């Protein structure tokens, strides 16, 4: 990677990250949405065990809530690029020596920084509120699984950012992606579609978090599929975004 490209990406990433940190309402939204579900499940359903399991409702669905957190990045990334278009910043940037690749890489990198912080906080909060973590649970996998979901979210966010032109539109339309991933993937219910990324990630998260499993067929294979989902979506999203911004 060229030093100039790396330096440009780093400076734009820091700029984007500082912008998000300054927006207190945005920070509250990023952390508050999954936190609401933690509180509802933890205190709304009591300590009773779910029939046929040794877990409470909160313990059973805590793995899904942790995965739910990085899905919000779909809205965040799409809104970021839409606002850049709306303000004319993106048009000005792509007429400078800064390439579209730099703009894309910095936008995604800043969101991944947020995702990293978000996932760590969610794991800690889940533990503090009494989520069950098996004594053999692999800490690295507990972080990696939702982090791969963050890549999937970036892919969906790029796809959406390729078409929307305003931040408001991006925030609203993103929910047509977030909600199906949330409910069809069984993050707060039982999975309805098994092969979507959220369903695969939750199955792996439950295996690691509740059972302490590292079995390839329950964890490794699912992670490969989630990674392929993320890679495919990001590649398609980049191609579309490059094409759309080329004709702004």
pLDDT, tens digit, 9 for 90 and up, residues 146-183: 999 999 999 999 999 888 878 778 888 999 999 999 99
Contact between 33 and 125 (Cβ < 8 Å): no
Q: Is 244 exposed, middle or buried (0-12, 13-18, 19+ CB in 10 A)?
A: middle
Under the banding of pLDDT at 50, 70 and 90, the label for residue 17 is confident
CA-to-CA separations, 193 to 196, 198, 202, in angstroms, rounded = 6, 9, 12
Euclidean distance between CA atoms 188 and 207, whole angstroms: 16
* Nearest residue to 208 (alpha-carbon basis) of 125, 121, 141, 119: 141
Global pTM exceeds 0.85? yes
* Nearest residue to 148 (alpha-carbon basis) of 31, 228, 210, 240: 228
pLDDT, residue 247, reads 41
Instruction: Give me the mean pLDDT over the 95-105 stretch.
Output: 72
Q: Which residues pair with 49 in a beta bridge?
A: 56
pLDDT, residue 140, reads 95
φ, ψ for residue 205 (rounded to 5)? -65, -40
Q: What tokens were used for 76?
A: 């965040």
Under the banding of pLDDT at 50, 70 and 90, the label for residue 95 is low
Highest mean pLDDT, choosing among 33-37, 115-119, 188-192 = 115-119
């Amino acid at each position: 990677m060229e030093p100039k490209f790396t330096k440009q990406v780093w400076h734009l990433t820091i700029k984007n990250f500082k912008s998000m940190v300054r927006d207190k309402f945005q920070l509250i939204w990023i952390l508050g949405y999954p936190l609401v579900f933690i509180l509802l499940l933890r205190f709304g359903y009591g300590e009773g065990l779910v029939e046929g399991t040794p877990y409470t409702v909160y313990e059973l669905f805590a793995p899904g809530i942790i995965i739910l957190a990085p899905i919000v990045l779909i809205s965040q990334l799409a809104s970021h690029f839409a606002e850049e278009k709306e303000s004319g910043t993106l048009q000005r940037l792509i007429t400078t020596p800064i390439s579209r690749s730099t703009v894309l890489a910095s936008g995604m990198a800043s969101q991944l920084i947020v995702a990293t912080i978000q996932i760590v906080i969610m794991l800690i909060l889940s533990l503090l509120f009494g989520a069950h973590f098996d004594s053999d649970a692999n800490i690295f996998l507990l972080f990696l699984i939702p982090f791969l979901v963050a890549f999937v979210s970036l892919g969906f966010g790029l796809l959406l950012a390729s078409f929307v032109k305003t931040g408001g539109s991006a925030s609203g339309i993103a929910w047509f992606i977030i909600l199906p991933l949330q409910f069809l993937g069984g993050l707060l219910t039982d999975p309805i579609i098994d092969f979507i990324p959220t369903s695969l990630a939750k199955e792996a998260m439950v295996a690691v978090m509740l059972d302490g499993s590292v079995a390839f067929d329950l964890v490794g294979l699912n992670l490969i599929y989630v990674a392929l989902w993320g890679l495919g979506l990001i590649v398609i999203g980049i191609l579309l975004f490059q094409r759309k911004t080329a004709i702004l």
